[in-house]
Amino acid sequence: MIPALRLQATLDLLSEIESDPRPADAVTSGWFRARRHFDDRDKGAIIDLLYGLLRHRARLGWWLDRLGNADSPRNRLLAWLTLAEGTAPDQIKRLFDGAKFAPAAVTAPESALLAGLRGCTMVHPDMPEEVRLECPTWAVAALRKRFGQAFGTEMTATLEPPPLDLRVNPMKSTREGALQDLKAMGLRAEATKLAPQGIRLRERLSLARLPGLKTGEIEIQDEGSQLVALLVDAKPGDRVVDFCAGAGGKTLAIAAQMQNKGHVIACDVNQARLKRGAERIRRAGLHNVETRVLTSETDQWVKRHKGGFDRILVDAPCSGTGTWRRNPDARWRAPDLGLNGLLALQARILASAARLVKPGGRLVYATCSFLSEENEDQVSAFLAAHPAFRLVPLRKAAPHLADAVHSDNLRLTPARHETDGFFAAVLQRETLPATPSPGGV
């Protein structure tokens, strides 16, 4: 495929992403499935260009506004070619020539845009810090409060493409064996620093090159997500609920921790996500998991199973700020409910799921968010309203993580830990006091 065709394909895909409410990775996967004529090299080049545009949206938009141009996918691409790749206007016009499968010819206003951008770079001294760091207006104040002086460092880290993290399924393989297999394929594979079953690949590759994904020997899972699942500390024979299981990534890790013994129930309000999770569970060779669709966070199933479980994981729906390096399009999709609506939903989910915890059992509340409002503040409010629960400090819940995190809760960031941004708190329901015998003192 010649470059002009890749440019047009990127424009088509970017336009579809902007008109589709689904995340960019889901739209991209479906888009390529419907266009199987693209080979791996074409796909790789298109995806690289697409994610470059997504990661620089605010900066490109700032330049377009400065020069009086509409912030459209086509104008963003023209600006990217000039500012990021240093392509001369004449070269761009040869690519945008209106030929079959190529982008339409450059117009007079677009020629003026290219001329105005020539010699410029992506960052300008007049550019506000939040634009330079690609931080959306709705999140600026909360993130500045969360990170303080480290705001710039942390936001810069979210602009870097993430590595590919894998989790080895101990029911089918070992990390040592999987590392040997990957290195034999010529891949730069290394053990993750904190997650005991994690492997990190520091290169982009077609997932079709990883046969272990099809056999269930490995799963794609960020190291931070693996650590959240480990924090549940599920033992063989336990009864566990993954209350907001989604497609089941943490469910799989928890069930494997339990060595296929005990019982894990993966719950969610989205039946399609649970169906995808069920397929992954079968592939992983796990037999201790069942899926259950809930009508809402207060489904009657919760009431009927009050106090019946050893461990509950609430991986709550959240703003997703911790996933921005992996999902750059999510920056520009403010929470559907608004932040206040999202906070109220999280509080309801946490309170409802807490009913499932038996005395002495534990509840792990987690988000993939940086925001204190969704994390520490949410936990503090829950503990104030539920005196039967207490916080278990990380140094007791997971001593092996304490030195890396330096907090009572699990708080991970790309800048400090090379993971996605995750928060998790371990909450324990106190055991009931012994009932005094009749006539006793």
Residues taking part in catalysis: 368
Q: Where are the alpha helices (DSSP H) in 185-268?
A: 212-215, 223-231, 249-257
Say which residues have a Cβ less than 8 Å from residue 234's Cβ, sequence separation at least 6. 240, 254, 257, 258, 262, 264, 310, 311
Check: CB of residue 314 under 8 Å from CB of residue 363.
yes
Side chain identity at residue 365, one-letter code: Y
Say which residues have a Cβ less than 8 Å from residue 388's Cβ, sequence separation at least 6. 429, 430
Residue among 301, 303, 332, 306 at smallest CA distance from 319: 332
Helix (H) or strand (E) holding 310: strand 309-315
Q: How far is it, in rounded angstroms, from Cα 411 to Cα 416?
A: 10
Question: Around 19, how many Cα atoms within 13 Å sit in the side-chain half-sphere?
Answer: 8
Q: How far is it, in rounded angstroms, from Cα 33 to Cα 171?
A: 31
Residue among 327, 40, 42, 25 at smallest CA distance from 206: 40
Q: What is the DSSP string of 61-73?
A: HHHHHHTT----H
Buried b (16+ CB within 10 A) or exposed e, 289-298: bebebbeebe
